[in-house]
Amino acid sequence: MISGVKPQQSGQRAETTASSPGDAKLGIADYLRVRQRSEAICAPLEIEDYGVQPMADASPPKWHLAHTTWFFATFLIKPHQPSAKPFHPAFEHLFNSYYNGGGEPFSRAKRGNLSRPTVAEIAVYRSYVDETVSELLAADKPPALQQSLLDTLALGLHHEQQHQELLLTDIKFNFGHNPLYPALIATSEIDSMAQPARGPSCENFQSSGASLEQDFTLFEPGLVDIGAQQGFCFDNELPRHPVYLTPFGLAKSLVTNEAYQAFIDDDGYSRPELWLSEAWAELQQHSRRHPLYWCWQDGQWFEYRLDGYHPLVANAPVVHVSGYEAAAFAAWSDARLPTEFEWEYAASKESNTSGNFADSGHLHPQSQHQDHSQMFGDVWEWTSSSYGPYPGYEPLLGVLGEYNGKFMSSQWVLRGGSCATPQDHIRRSYRNFFYPKDAWQFSGIRLARNP
């Protein structure tokens, strides 16, 4: 359910500007701004890069650009301007992601086989839909219709922002598996606090000089309210409801590469007692024994980042770990992952939701400075919570009801956004979800513990 259909309170959201996609006063300028950002992300790509799908989960950039357009064509134009001619009849099938109620989607794993339509044709498709949406927004309508239009517009823009993050993670997956390691952005001194990871000849473990011990903030037990309050949100963040929390501690900082390296060096990947049963079985089938994109070469760790292939930074947050790895690291640390409720409650104590988001242009997590909690941005934080419905959850009506609800099994919740998330897309109540085996998102670790 899009909260926009409910009366809004007057309180201001500190973390978003007046024109964020969740704002009731959304207009054509907001629409165009968000749409153009998708294209800006892809600007450095070669034509060849737009079509590649190196795994079923990592869709081609071209497909993302078309699918987000399909979303507006299907859920905004079709119902609000039924007379509009579809751009191309086959596109309704080709760029439907998973909405069975909207006809049979084209096979997910075969998106990378579609050399046609071309990138140029998809650009025309985008323009065609953008024009129609602009006309729709400009037209006079009764207030109820106008509100319904704006609700769907907001949803479509947040949807496009989700795919902006996926564009980055999917491009990274492609480039990071190509032996030529192409870079999406120029290399720069992106991390002002960076310390080199220990090399082959270091004698003592903590090359950064920092302690690997975590400091924890302690929280008292009690009933807390969980879920979205106002402004735009997805249906899965509602309804806001009470949850009882027992006392817990939450780490004041993210787990670093250096700490994760200690886990590896302590044979973390060879000790079944640290791993969930499913995780251990998965581990026996695959060879990865380090975060995705790490590479051991010439006696030291390197990491592929969107700005190229570089030596690992010791005190930067570890990123691209699976939920299984996060849980095993936590077990090794004699700690655990937080629940999503613990995380959200702690987040409610943060003064704002600022952080290292995609807007900073780094596109990589940064080392902590000045005790900033890094609760928002940098890396999505794995929680121990299975992704499920809140009590009283109601999916959106109609085909859009497939947006979130049908994925509520076997996945885990992640919180807080990452360096690839648009800043005005995130909120304290935001629930991201992936399978615990997945590591290609910018996912990291914050520890929790019992008091």
What residue ranges bind a second copy (CB under 8 A)?
46-54, 62, 90, 93-94, 98, 100-101, 106, 110, 112-119, 174, 177-180, 182, 223, 241-246, 248, 272-273, 275-280, 336, 339, 384-386, 388-389, 391-392, 401-402, 406-410, 412, 436, 450
Smallest gap from Cβ 177 to a second copy, in A, equals 7
Q: What is the rounded distance in angstroms from the CA atom of residue 388 to the CA atom of residue 412?
A: 9
Q: What is the rounded distance in angstroms from the CA atom of residue 162 to the CA atom of residue 142?
A: 30
Nearer to a second copy, 32 or 55 (CB): 55
Best CA proximity match to 174, nearest among 306, 285, 302, 366: 306
Smallest gap from Cβ 280 to a second copy, in A, equals 7
Smallest gap from Cβ 89 to a second copy, in A, equals 10
Smallest gap from Cβ 267 to a second copy, in A, equals 14
Residue 318 near residue 260 (C-beta atoms within 8 A) = yes
Q: What is the rounded distance in angstroms from the CA atom of residue 408 to the CA atom of residue 194?
A: 38
Residue 206 near residue 332 (C-beta atoms within 8 A) = no
Query: DSSP 3-state assignment of 294?
Result: strand
Smallest gap from Cβ 449 to a second copy, in A, equals 10
Best CA proximity match to 220, nearest among 250, 251, 253, 245: 245
Residue 32 near residue 130 (C-beta atoms within 8 A) = yes
Smallest gap from Cβ 98 to a second copy, in A, equals 7
Nearer to a second copy, 85 or 116 (CB): 116
Nearer to a second copy, 34 or 122 (CB): 122
Find the DSSP H helices in 43-142.
Answer: 61-72, 78-80, 91-94, 119-138
Nearer to a second copy, 31 or 91 (CB): 91
Residue 62 near residue 187 (C-beta atoms within 8 A) = no
Nearer to a second copy, 57 or 402 (CB): 402
Neighbours of 6 (CB within 10 A): 10
Q: Which residues contact 243 (CB under 8 A, 6 or more apart)?
A: 223, 224, 225, 226, 341
Q: What is the rounded distance in angstroms from the CA atom of residue 22 to the CA atom of residue 110?
A: 33
Best CA proximity match to 388, nearest among 426, 440, 340: 340
Smallest gap from Cβ 106 to a second copy, in A, equals 8
How far lies 304's CA from each of 47, 49, 308, 312, in Å? 22, 17, 6, 9
Smallest gap from Cβ 440 to a second copy, in A, equals 14
Q: If you ran DSSP here, which 8-state letter would residue 313 be given?
A: B
Q: What is the rounded distance in angstroms from the CA atom of residue 232 to the CA atom of residue 13?
A: 11
Smallest gap from Cβ 70 to a second copy, in A, equals 14
Nearer to a second copy, 206 or 229 (CB): 229
Smallest gap from Cβ 120 to a second copy, in A, equals 8
Smallest gap from Cβ 279 to a second copy, in A, equals 7
Dihedrals phi, psi of 389, to nearest 5 degrees: -80, 145
Q: What is the rounded distance in angstroms from the CA atom of residue 41 to the CA atom of residue 46?
A: 12
